[in-house]
Amino acid sequence: MKSIDEKQVETGPEAPDGGATRTAVRKEVLGEDDAGSRVDRVLARLLPTVPRTRLLRLLRRGEVRLNGKRVGGDARVAAGDVLRVPPVRLEAPPAVEGAAAEGGGAASKRVPPRLVEAVEASIVHQDERLLVIDKPSGIAVHGGSGIGFGVIEALRASRPDETLELVHRLDRDTSGCLLIARRRSTLRSLHALLREEAFDKRYLALLRGKWDLGTKLIDAPLRTDLRVGGERTVRVAANGKPAQTQIRPVQFFGRLATLVEVRLLTGRTHQIRVHAAYAGHPVAGDEKYGDEAFNEQLRGFGLKRLFLHAHSIGFTDPQRQVDVALSAPLPDDLKQVLDALSQRAGKLRPASVNT
């Protein structure tokens, strides 16, 4: 999702008051992650500190527009829709007490200090335009859908004077490289690269069984707008959106499992997990698309979560015209699983990537 017309400010009923500040009107181009969601839930994610009663009032007044038209909170959005987020008044947040405040941390009590500290500790690179996070598994990139806070809310709480926006997203259970723009111009230029699919995004994943397909391109369209019991479910479907995933074996653990490097050529929701399962080799620890018997077997080797890690991302910086390569090593918990598998499998083929 990206913002446009960010600097435009409109007058309206949500006028500034005392020490409060007022946001500018935003027009958000909604992405795949929001497809199928209700307008009120998307709005709550975009304005996480605004009470729900005020959000509902904005909807009733017709200040929230979807593709230029008034819309109710129960309407569903699609990728590519433009949501007008009206200006709202924000009260000055109180400082966080405790360790985070002493270190100049979170600016709001609403974001738990422990989350702020965990996210700040996961920063692996920063310059004047970009933050790179080695996102831990289990932390969402943003709040919403029953999740109060994520990476972006924690960073905004600890850096209240900065303009921070997610460049892209990772699933909550996926660890690894996550980019945060510190300037609007950086966000726009990197979003343009994403639209052109000019990012080289690579993941490490542990798949069920022995991958005998060599380096394989999976070209299978995906439906990302399906709901099963109210929960988003992605499936291979002829009428889906184009999706391509390249999988290359790295290390074999007998016939039990294979460590692979995955290169994303498109960026659909749950793409790696669905394509791996479609190929007959689901990702270890995947409770949604995976194999429960395999997952249970891997728990015996210490696996406690999805074995999927965004280990590198590369692109040509359009503003500086230089190649950028960023990486995050495989976390210790996943390395320990590989060590346990190695002891079981004995002599293995050597890995061809640095894990």
pLDDT at 224 (0 to 100): 85
Q: What percent of the chain has pLDDT over 70?
A: 83
Q: Which of 11-25, 32-46, 272-286 has the lowest mean pLDDT?
A: 11-25
pLDDT of residue 127: 87
Output the pLDDT for position 134.
Answer: 95
Catalytic residue of the set 34, 134, 171, 291:
171
Catalytic site includes residue 34: no
Whole-number pLDDT of residue 187: 86
Check if the beta carbon of residue 341 is closer than 8 Å to that of residue 246: no
- Beta strands 308-317 and 175-181 are parallel
Give the DSSP letter string of 165-220.
EESS---TT-EEEEEEESSHHHHHHHHHHHHTT--EEEEEEEEES---S-SEEEE-
Work out the pLDDT band at 204, boundaries 50, 70, 90.
Answer: very high
- The angle, 0 to 180 degrees and rounded to 10, between the axes of the packed helices 39-46 and 52-60 is 130
pLDDT value of position 301: 96
Residue 287: what pLDDT?
94
> Mean pLDDT across the stretch 110-135?
90
Model confidence at 239, in pLDDT bands (50, 70, 90)?
very high
Asked if residue 9 has pLDDT above 70, the reply is no
CA distances from 208 to 65, 99, 247, 293, 296 (A): 46, 43, 13, 10, 12
The rounded distance, in Å, linking the Cα atoms of 311 and 282 is 19
Give the pLDDT band of residue 1 (cuts 50, 70, 90).
Answer: low
Least confident stretch, 36-50, 116-130, 210-224, 231-245: 36-50
Going by C-alpha positions, the residue among 283, 287, 288, 284 that lies closest to residue 340 is 284
- What SS3 class is residue 136? coil
pLDDT at 311 over 90: yes
Lowest mean pLDDT among 113-127, 149-163, 173-187, 340-354: 340-354
Judge whether 62 and 73 are in contact, CB under 8 Å: no
More confident residue, 240 or 90: 240
**Average pLDDT value for residue range 305-323:** 89
User: So what's the pLDDT on residue 205?
Assistant: 98
Instruction: Between 344 and 249, name the one with better pLDDT.
Output: 249
Residue 89 backbone phi and psi in degrees, to 5: -90, 130
Give the domains, in start order, of the chain with CATH numbers: 2-90 (3.10.290.10), 99-189 (3.30.2350.10), 199-345 (3.30.2350.10)
For 129-168, what is each residue's pLDDT tens digit?
Answer: 899 999 999 999 988 766 778 899 999 998 888 889 999 9
70 sits in which H/E element: strand 69-70
For residues 247 and 253, what is the distance between their CA atoms, to the nearest angstrom?
A: 17
Structure token digits, residue 304: 């406690």
Q: What is the mean pLDDT of the chain?
A: 83
* Cα→Cα distances 225→82, 135, 217, 298, Å: 17, 26, 24, 31
The predicted structure's pLDDT at residue 17: 39
Residue type at 86? P
Closest of 330, 332, 174, 346 to residue 256, by C-alpha: 346
